[in-house]
Amino acid sequence: MAKPYATRSALRTPPPDLKERLIAATEKLLASQGLGCVSTRDIAKEANVAEGALYHHFGDKAELILSVVLQQVGDFPEVLQSLPLRIGENTVQKNLETVLESAFAFHHRIAPLVCSLFADQELLAKVRGMMNERSMGPGRSVFAISAYLRAEQQLGRVSMSAVPETVAELMLAVTFNRAMQDHFFLGGAEGDSKARRKLREAARALMVGLQPAEGDERGAPKGSKK
């Protein structure tokens, strides 16, 4: 029995990995040439597909850029989601170090892309609008970190005078600044060991203000680590 002719839409159906190929091609070109020199035609050529295939998966360049950013988050969301499990465990400083290291890795990957967006204000506005619509951005990270710190305050492991939201914002500022310095002054070549040492120093500095003063503890369980 003869096989029925494939429909036109079926013939145009892209392979299942095409979206990943386009994202990978975009990452490669952005890293080697920068956002200002990369067009959708360049991306399609790098992925070895027709330019029209790009718009099958992404409405425009802004949506593609946002997908690249999401591809770079690494384990940062998981680290933030695991913070409730760390309440009262290990030391506060150690837990903050874990968050700082994961945030730094994320910021180090996206810093060049984020900065290059300022060279294209129209594209920046589109990406910003999409992020706002999807409730994306540092606000979610600040919320998760500050919720963790408030819980530690109730255990007496963090000073009640500390402002969790401010501490969370400082942590993200430290990691992004560290990433920017590395890219700008060292070309992204700062070693992992040096970066970790700097982040541990940042955690220690934060603990100076977070350490509860005598009589500041609230319900700290016996034997809890501070």
Share of the chain above pLDDT 70, in %: 88
As a whole number, the mean pLDDT across the chain is 87
Cβ atoms of residues 85 and 41 within 8 Å: no
Could you tell me which of 75, 62, 73, 58 has the C-alpha nearest to residue 20? 58
pLDDT tens digit string along 123-136? 999 999 999 999 99
pLDDT tens digit string along 163-193? 999 999 999 999 999 999 999 888 877 778 8
pLDDT band at 9 (very low <50, low <70, confident <90, very high): very low
- pLDDT of 225 strictly over 60: no
pLDDT tens digit string along 45-100? 999 999 988 998 999 999 999 999 999 999 999 999 999 999 999 999 999 999 99
Q: What is the dihedral of CA 82, 86, 87, 88, to 10 degrees?
A: 170
